[in-house]
Structure formats: structure tokens, C-alpha cells
Amino acid sequence: MSREARLLAVRAKVAAVAGGPLGAGVLAFGDARIDRCLPGGGLPLGRWHEAAGEGLDIETAAAASAFVAALAGPLARRGAVVWVMRRDDLYAPGLADLSFPAERLIQVHVRDEAQALAAVEDALGTAGVAAAIGEAQDIDLTGGRRLQLACERYGATGFVIRRRPFGGQAKRAASGSAAATRWMIAPASSEPGQGEPGLGLPRWRVDLQRCRGGWPGRWIVEKNDGPYPLRVVADLGDRQLETPQSLRLAG
């Protein structure tokens, strides 16, 4: 199937889900510790954002993908979410545990990174798409600007999950990225509720490394079943929650 035919098929699915301009605004976390670091009091919508994991997670993208899925969940209620990937390893039913409505998801599989970024750009520029998520190892300034222009067309929000092919060579992140925010994500230990056995809600250690018009910050967050997608467990200024390695790096 040609690229044009695939795009038409995606647009037909999107049209069946939703349509019309979405507008911009922000996605609030509902906690001033994060929201005050972000321009407008929340994650800017109608822009695109980067997320990456640490260590081996830069290859599996498990933590970064879960974090992005949690953020994209509320957006999926406004329109379709297109997830572009090179490896067929996204377990869509598992997204329900992150309060993501999987029935709003459109998965697109591509051969290489160039196709992935082109597909994300096409999706962002399609009416009825609330968000597009793409997995890529690198994106240059020109590519970032193209994504931003596509976001502005209908007010869709983009996410690029940095993911390196298994066994691939590490690349230095492109400088001068046009991303509105850049996040580093790592898993954090969950804690069951009082008197509850087993595991608690999923948790992540998030590092907002860069934010246009805002400030960096570091927190532990967990999935939230309330009106906001994530709940702040602690600011990582609370040193007893930091790992020994992070304490050595900070010292």
C-alpha cells in the first residue's frame, strides 16, 4: 500500500471517530508543583513534546510510553490518537490501565524513522486527530518545525518518544529542538494503599529537563484515577525519595 493510500485510510478512520478543529489550551496536572513550571499552568496543547527513558529503556521505551499514554488519555476524549511505531510491540489493551480509551487509538506501522516522522506530521495535520505519538531516535530542527506547523493546523498535540533500535548506536539528541517540553522518564517503586496487598498504582520519576517559557523540575508521579491524568507523589527535592545514585550525582 502506498503512503498516500495509508494516509487516506487513516483519515477515513479519524473521520469516523471525530472531526473539526480542537483548539489549544493546556493540560493541567492539578498540582502547583508541576503546573507552575509550565507556561499557562499546564502542558501546552497544540505543540509537540519529547519524552525519553534512561538506560535500556531508551530501547524498550516502556516507561516513556506509559507516561505519554497517561498524558494522551484525556486528549483521546476529544478526538482520535494516532500512534506511529516501527516495532509492533504496543499492547493496546494495557492502555486501559492508564485510563486511555483504546477504542480511540489508531496504530500505524512504518518501516523506518523517516516514515515515522512523516506519518506523525500527516496525522497532526488531519482534522479530528487530538494527538499523534511517534517513536523516533532523533529529530532535527527542521523536522521539529514541520511537526509544530502540523500541530498548529488543527490544534493537535504531538509526542515524540525517543527510542533507539535494539543494539543500535547511541545518538546525541539534536540541539535546538523545537519541542515545547523535553521529559526524561524512569520507573519508580509503587506502593499499595494502606491495608491493600500487592502492587500500587504505576509510578514514574519524571525530569522536566526543558520547557519553553517555563522552568525545569523533577517529581515522582503516579497514575491518577481522578480528574487529572497523573498525581504528584513527591517533589524530588524531598531527598529521602531519591535513589542513592541520584544523591551521589547531586552531591
174-205 confidence digits (pLDDT tens): 444 689 999 999 999 887 766 666 678 889 99
Domain-embedded: residue 24: no
User: Distance of CA 14 to CAs 2, 18, 53, 104, 150, Å?
Assistant: 19, 6, 30, 9, 16
Domain-embedded: residue 40: no
Domain-embedded: residue 110: yes
Domain-embedded: residue 144: yes
Domain-embedded: residue 211: yes
* 230: helix, strand or coil: strand
- Residue 247: the pLDDT is 34
CATH number of the domain bearing residue 236: 3.40.50.300
User: For the segment 130-161, what is each residue's pLDDT rounded down to a tens digit?
Assistant: 999 999 988 999 999 999 999 999 899 999 99
Proportion of the chain above pLDDT 70, given as a percent: 77
pLDDT greater than 50 at residue 249: no
Residue 168 φ then ψ, to 5°: -75, 165
- 8 Å CB contact between 183 and 207: yes
CA distance 202 to 83: 21
Residue 32 φ then ψ, to 5°: -60, -25
Domain-embedded: residue 34: no
Domains of the chain: total: 1
- 8 Å CB contact between 132 and 84: yes
CA distance 75 to 239: 33
Domain-embedded: residue 194: no
pTM of the predicted model as reported, rounded to 2 decimal places: 0.81
- Residue 164: the pLDDT is 81
- 8 Å CB contact between 121 and 10: no
Residue-number span of the structural domain to which 71 is assigned: 3-17+47-166+175-188+201-250
Domain-embedded: residue 31: no
